[in-house]
């Protein structure tokens, strides 16, 4: 499968192969759960795109596709589970009329530990090479620790009549495979479980599940997409719920589930990323016309050039919707509207003192302007300026401008980014001119994930790149990987 740089905005959601006709296309996801009686298990969800497979005529005169699916689970380089099976499509009378997608689900017991999952999917009716995928699988459940299962997005559900592989907590859950919800999707349904809450707050004690959507870029909750569900603490507390998203604009979001005690304190939360495409919904933040800016800091900013600069500088801490709204405003001469947007932006983040919040951020913006501004970019538009404004000052900095074979590079390490720990960003200067360093790779969620970053960093002297061979040798004095990992 052709290699390509990946923007890591999805978690473990997999792949759509190249979109050429008849090239195999699939989506894969797995979710881990725990049974108090049987222990941990993993469910795998595989969606095959019907038009991408080859159908052949059967003895019954119908047409059917056949795929060979292989899953290998390894621990410490030893195979602990192996699955190889044929996946058949429905039989079709006429493939010219319809080639529906089809889904496969497996449920596999997997003891506590960390595993390597290798997946191979081969179309039995072609000679094309298979799709191959590998990922790390962590099973961290036990009978004492408070922990959420993974999320399962759900296409549809109904009460169970006879228990089967789709059954969980009394419902048959048809999986929604992927993290992309198109315009046609009017709802988002999900299932997750919380384990051992009874040991935390006492069996039978009341608690609340709060579930809501938040902007992926800002972690700012969306008030119109928030609901509650009351339960009593047990060994396993499942939640199956649905949110309406017909009016949710295009953008990147997190689905968040919180368990809260009777004092409304968060006990534990879990979240999952998804993307929404909804081009039919117009961008309309709050009711900007009703925002009162009388005697506020925003009313005092009268220069249209300053307002445009300030609005654009919000991009590193804005949602995609806010970025687009600000860009639309900057293209006008609506001074009052810009003032209202600026004030409302900070009021939604600090209702009691939006001016203090703005002054703190503006100070950082001007610092980035002094540190990283170029002839064609403001400081906040550069990669280093954006990362600083979004996550704050790095906790550690490793700078190397004279390593043999490598372009000059700088590594920033953040000890904590939200619930993520020890995340790193590597910037480099491939032009060997000017002061701007470009983001090359990061292991932080939502940032540029480039598994071939070493090839790019050391391509200053290398003349041949073999992206299919990840056993990279940086040569004498090559320290970037060690610096990135330490």
What are the beta bridge partners of residue 154? 175, 189
* Cβ–Cβ < 8 Å for 437, 424: no
When pLDDT is averaged across residues 458-471 and rounded to a whole number, the result is 54
Q: How many CA atoms lie within 13 A of 445 on its CB side?
A: 21
Secondary structure element (H or E) that encloses residue 73, with its range = strand 63-75
pLDDT of residue 319: 87
Domain locations along the chain: 13-276, 288-387, 394-485
pLDDT of residue 320: 84
* Cβ–Cβ < 8 Å for 146, 197: yes
Q: What are 1-48's pLDDT values in tens digits?
A: 222 222 233 333 334 333 334 689 999 999 999 999 999 999 999 999
pLDDT of residue 402: 84
CA distance 216 to 338: 24
Token reading at 172:
């048959």
Mean of per-residue pLDDT scores for the chain: 88
Token reading at 80:
């602990």
Q: What distance, in Å, lies between the first and last C-alpha atoms of the chain? A: 31
* Cβ–Cβ < 8 Å for 173, 240: yes
Query: Of the spans 96-100, 105-109, 478-482, which averages the highest pLDDT?
Result: 105-109
pLDDT of residue 191: 98
pLDDT over 80 at 149, yes or no: yes
pLDDT of residue 452: 83
Other C-beta atoms lying within 10 Å of the C-beta of residue 481: 14
The CATH code belonging to domain 13-276 is: 2.60.40.2550
List, in sequence order, every beta strand (DSSP E) within 266-335.
266-276
Q: Are strands 55-57 and 113-123 parallel, antiparallel or unpaired?
A: unpaired
**Nearest in space to 101 (alpha carbons), one of 173, 172, 44, 155:** 155
Q: What are 245-298's pLDDT values in tens digits?
A: 999 988 899 999 999 999 999 999 999 999 999 988 866 655 677 889 999 999
Cα-atom radius of gyration of the chain, to the nearest Å? Answer: 25
CA distance 168 to 171: 6
Other C-beta atoms lying within 10 Å of the C-beta of residue 187: 12
């Amino acid at each position: 499968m052709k290699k390509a740089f990946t923007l890591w905005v999805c978690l473990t959601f997999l792949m759509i192969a190249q979109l050429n006709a008849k090239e195999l296309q699939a989506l894969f996801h797995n979710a881990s759960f725990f049974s108090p009686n049987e222990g941990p298990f993993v469910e795998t969800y595989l969606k095959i795109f019907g038009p991408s497979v080859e159908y052949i005529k059967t003895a019954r005169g119908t047409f059917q596709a056949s795929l060979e699916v292989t899953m290998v689970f390894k621990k410490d380089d030893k195979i602990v589970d192996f699955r190889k099976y044929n996946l058949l499509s429905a039989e079709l009378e006429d493939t010219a009329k319809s080639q529906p997608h089809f889904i496969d689900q497996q449920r596999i017991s997997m003891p506590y530990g960390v595993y390597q999952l290798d997946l191979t999917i081969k179309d039995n009716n072609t000679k094309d090479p298979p799709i191959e995928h590998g990922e790390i699988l962590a099973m961290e459940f036990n009978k004492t620790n408070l922990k959420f299962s993974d999320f399962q997005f759900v296409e549809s559900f109904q009460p169970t009549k006879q228990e089967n592989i789709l059954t969980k907590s009394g419902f048959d859950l048809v999986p929604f495979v992927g993290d992309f919800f198109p315009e046609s999707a009017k709802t988002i349904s999900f299932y997750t479980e919380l384990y051992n809450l009874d040991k935390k707050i006492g069996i039978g004690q009341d608690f609340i599940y709060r579930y809501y959507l938040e902007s992926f870029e800002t972690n700012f909750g969306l008030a119109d997409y928030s609901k509650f569900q009351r339960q009593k603490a047990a060994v396993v507390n499942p939640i199956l719920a649905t949110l309406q998203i017909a009016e949710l604009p295009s953008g990147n979001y997190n689905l968040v589930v919180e368990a809260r005690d009777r004092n409304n304190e968060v006990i534990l939360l879990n979240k999952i990323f998804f993307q929404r495409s909804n081009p039919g919904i117009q961008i309309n933040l709050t009711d900007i016309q009703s925002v009162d800016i009388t005697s506020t800091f925003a009313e005092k900013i009268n220069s249209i050039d300053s307002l445009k600069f300030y609005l654009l500088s919000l991009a590193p801490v804005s949602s995609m919707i806010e970025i687009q709204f600000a860009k639309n405003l900057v293209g006008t001469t609506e001074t009052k509207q810009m003032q209202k947007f600026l004030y409302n932006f900070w009021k939604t983040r600090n209702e009691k003192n939006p001016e203090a919040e703005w002054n703190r951020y503006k100070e950082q913006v001007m610092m980035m302007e002094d540190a990283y501004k170029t002839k064609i970019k403001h400081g906040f538009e550069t990669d280093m300026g954006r990362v600083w404004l979004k996550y704050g000052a790095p906790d550690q900095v490793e700078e190397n401008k004279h390593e043999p074979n490598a372009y000059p590079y700088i590594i920033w390490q953040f000890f904590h980014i939200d619930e993520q720990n020890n995340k790193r960003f590597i910037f480099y200067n491939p032009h060997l001119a000017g002061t701007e360093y470009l983001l090359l790779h990061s292991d932080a969620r939502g940032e540029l994930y480039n598994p071939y970053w070493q090839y790019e960093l050391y391509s200053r002297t290398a003349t041949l790149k073999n992206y299919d061979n990840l056993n990279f040798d940086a040569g004498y004095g090559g320290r970037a990987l060690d610096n990135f990992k330490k």
